[in-house]
Amino acid sequence: MITFEDVTKTYPSQLRPALSAVTVDIAEGEFVFLVGASGSGKSTFLRLVLREERPTSGRIHVAGRDLARLSSWKVPALRREMGVVFQDFRLLPNKTVAQNVAFALEVIGKPGHAIRELVPGVLDLVGLQGMSNRRPDELSGGEQQRVAIARAFANRPALLLADEPTGNLDPATSVGIMKLLDRINRTGTTVVMATHDAAIVDSMRKRVVELEGGRVVRDQSRGVYGYTH
Amino acid sequence: MRAQFVLSEVGIGLRRNLTMTVAVIVAVAISVAFLGTALLFRSQVQTMKGFWYDKVEVAVFLCGPGSDATGCATGPVTQQQRDQILAELQAMPEVERVYYESQQEAFEHFSEQFADSGIVENVEPESLPESFRVKLRDPEQFRVIAAHLAGRPGVEQIQDMREVLGRIFRVLNWFTLAAAVVAVVQLVAAMLLIANVIRVAAFSRRRETGIMRLVGASRFYIQLPFLLEGALAGLIGALLAAAGVVALQRFLVEDVLRREFTFVAFVGWDEVWRTIPLMLATGVVLAALASAVTVRKYLRV
């Protein structure tokens, strides 16, 4: 699903590369934790997958596409194959839960009848049945993150990227979100989650890729968060 | 679905920024109105030139009872002098045609031209000079005629009517140019204003466009609402300007000028209808262009 071959990314204004010589292969259907301190390169990794950034050198393949050769007008098609979830939810405050999810489908040109079928189903999946007419400010943080996950997953992407999805949530709520991500992963969707929540990583026993100063220092299946914390 | 989504986004955008939208519409209306005025003024000058140049070129005024020019020392022009001058004019290769305008005819033309002004009552046929009206093969050959007839007994004055009219047209051309300059400056200002409005709109909707980017919305969905927003404001402004030009033609040119100044040809509705599409196109295209440049700069896909 995601292949990094010897990828280095140096931002224009910086001397030290944000990622250096990273080689990682993530297969379809995997659940991978990306761990490491702030500034270790986790976000850069995700931005490269999203093609928000291009690598300075090395090759990246995502969902069967060579990102170096992908022309910019095909980027939207690439992004339709993945869903993204952030620490700050990024919901539209003036739209209801259902409208927030529907918006993501409208703007990729899904027809109205398909949207009306998809939205209730995905809200059920994330456990928000009966809340479709609430607005984001009437929801708890965990519920808001569920809306964000519903929006990311509504189009049934093959890949779900999560950038610190539990960063703003208390431990009990985080467990609920992790269960949801695990359930999504079991439907066959590849999940890549950047985090520095050690308890969650330790409890899930999934593959762990640890970055430090832009390099992969550990790639362990069924790993734990690490020894430094 | 697509069209409906884009149009509702356009509506939301225009309403969210209502005051700015009004400013854009007014700016476009003013600039396009100046453009239309400049274009019609140019047509007006062309029309007048065609109308007058066709009628007059060189006037050879003959001595009357009160003339004191050098050629008039012997008193009013005699029949012999008149025949002599006519024969010489007709013999010149530069001359295409010669008309004789008697004092009575001059008076009739004068009365016609100034019919409404009351000045006619103070003028008698005897106070107007008789003249030969000369049409040249090449209007630039005025000097040849002037040199040939200057100081000739019976000739009071030789006037290149193009010269006289030329002065009027130079003034009118300056008006045209001034209107055009104002139009261009205003259009640039309107475009900058539009660019700014679109920038603000893009900023105020950055949350939406950010999500659109992430879920893989195409350029069509992300940028088109902003382009249409600019183009629509441009179109409304241009329509207002067109309405203004139509009103100007209807109430100033047709109702007042054409009736007051019967001896002058004015631009007709033909020219107005030909100018309006140009005005609308300018308003829409420049507004869309300003939006497009801004959108490309501030809205990455």
- Chain A: give the shortest CA distance to residue B29, in Å: 33
- Residues in chain B with CB shorter than 8 Å from the CB of A107 are 5, 211-212, 215, 217, 221-222
CA dihedral B52, B58, B64, B70 (to 10 degrees): 140
Q: How far is CA A202 from CA A40, A156, A195, A207, A222, in A?
A: 20, 28, 12, 10, 9
Counting beta carbons within 10 angstroms of the beta carbon of residue B258, is it exposed (0 to 12), middle (13 to 18) or buried (19 or more)? middle
- Residues in chain B with CB shorter than 8 Å from the CB of A106 are 1, 5
**pLDDT single digits (tens) B226-266:** 898 899 999 999 999 999 999 999 998 888 888 887 767 78
**pLDDT single digits (tens) A119-153:** 999 999 999 988 999 999 999 999 999 999 999 99
| Per-residue model confidence (pLDDT) at position B168 | 79
Scanning the structure block, which residue is given the tokens 């479709």? A132
Name the percent of chain A lying above pLDDT 70. 99
- Angle in degrees, 0-180, between the axes of helices B2-16 and B18-53, rounded to the nearest 10: 90
Distance CA B220, CA B277 (A): 27
Residue A227 confidence class, pLDDT cut points 50, 70, 90: low
The answer, yes or no, to whether residue A179 has pLDDT greater than 60, is yes
- Are A10 and A53 in contact by the 8 Å Cβ rule? The answer is no
Counting beta carbons within 10 angstroms of the beta carbon of residue A100, is it exposed (0 to 12), middle (13 to 18) or buried (19 or more)? buried
Distance of CA B84 to the CA centre of its chain: 43
- Residues of chain B whose C-beta is under 8 A from some C-beta in A? 1-2, 5, 207-208, 210-219, 221-222, 301
The ipTM assigned to this model is 0.87
Residue B49 confidence class, pLDDT cut points 50, 70, 90: confident
Mean pLDDT, residues A205-217: 92
Q: To probe the interface with B, which of A75, A82, A106, A161 has the most B CB atoms within 10 Å?
A: A106
| Per-residue model confidence (pLDDT) at position B75 | 76
- Residues in chain B with CB shorter than 8 Å from the CB of A110 are 1
Of the candidates B207, B210, B217, the beta carbon closest to that of A108 is on B217
- Collapsed DSSP state (helix, strand, coil) of residue B96: strand
Q: To probe the interface with A, which of B2, B214, B220, B300 has the most A CB atoms within 10 Å?
A: B214
- Collapsed DSSP state (helix, strand, coil) of residue B218: coil
- Partners of A24 in the β-ladder: A4
Of the candidates A77, A84, A112, the beta carbon closest to that of B214 is on A84
The answer, yes or no, to whether residue B277 has pLDDT greater than 70, is yes
Residue A229 confidence class, pLDDT cut points 50, 70, 90: very low
Residue type at A220?
Q
Q: Which two tokens stand for residue A74?
A: 């095909």
Q: Which residues contact B280 (CB under 8 A, 6 or more apart)?
A: B235, B238, B239, B242
**pLDDT single digits (tens) B80-124:** 888 888 888 888 888 888 888 888 888 887 777 666 666 777 777
- Answer whether B219 sits within 8 Å of A155, measured CB to CB: no
- Answer whether B213 sits within 8 Å of A77, measured CB to CB: no
Q: To probe the interface with A, which of B215, B219, B223 has the most A CB atoms within 10 Å?
A: B215
- Collapsed DSSP state (helix, strand, coil) of residue B97: strand
**pLDDT single digits (tens) A54-90:** 999 999 999 999 998 898 889 999 999 999 999 999 9
The answer, yes or no, to whether residue B54 has pLDDT greater than 70, is no
Mean pLDDT, residues B273-277: 93
Name the percent of chain B lying above pLDDT 70. 95
- Residues in chain B with CB shorter than 8 Å from the CB of A78 are 216
- Chain B: give the shortest CA distance to residue A160, in Å: 11
Scanning the structure block, which residue is given the tokens 């103070």? B122
Residue A228 confidence class, pLDDT cut points 50, 70, 90: low
CA closest to B213 among chain A residues: A76
Counting beta carbons within 10 angstroms of the beta carbon of residue B255, is it exposed (0 to 12), middle (13 to 18) or buried (19 or more)? exposed
- Answer whether A90 sits within 8 Å of B211, measured CB to CB: yes
- Residues of chain A whose C-beta is under 8 A from some C-beta in B? 50, 72-73, 75-81, 83-84, 90, 92, 103-104, 106-112, 151-152, 155
Scanning the structure block, which residue is given the tokens 């950034």? A53
- Answer whether B2 sits within 8 Å of A109, measured CB to CB: yes
Q: To probe the interface with B, which of A65, A73, A107, A122 has the most B CB atoms within 10 Å?
A: A107
The answer, yes or no, to whether residue B225 has pLDDT greater than 80, is yes
DSSP per position, chain A: -EEEEEEEE--TT-SS-SEEEEEEEE-TT-EEEEE-STTSSHHHHHHHHTTSS--SEEEEEETTEETTT--GGGHHHHHTTEEEEETT----TTS-HHHHHHHHHHTTT--HHHHHHHHHHHHHHTT-TT-TT--GGGS-HHHHHHHHHHHHHTT--SEEEEESTTTTS-HHHHHHHHHHHHHHHHTT-EEEEEE--HHHHHHH--EEEEEETTEEEEEETT--S-S--
Counting beta carbons within 10 angstroms of the beta carbon of residue B3, is it exposed (0 to 12), middle (13 to 18) or buried (19 or more)? exposed
CA closest to A155 among chain B residues: B215
- What is the model's pTM? 0.73
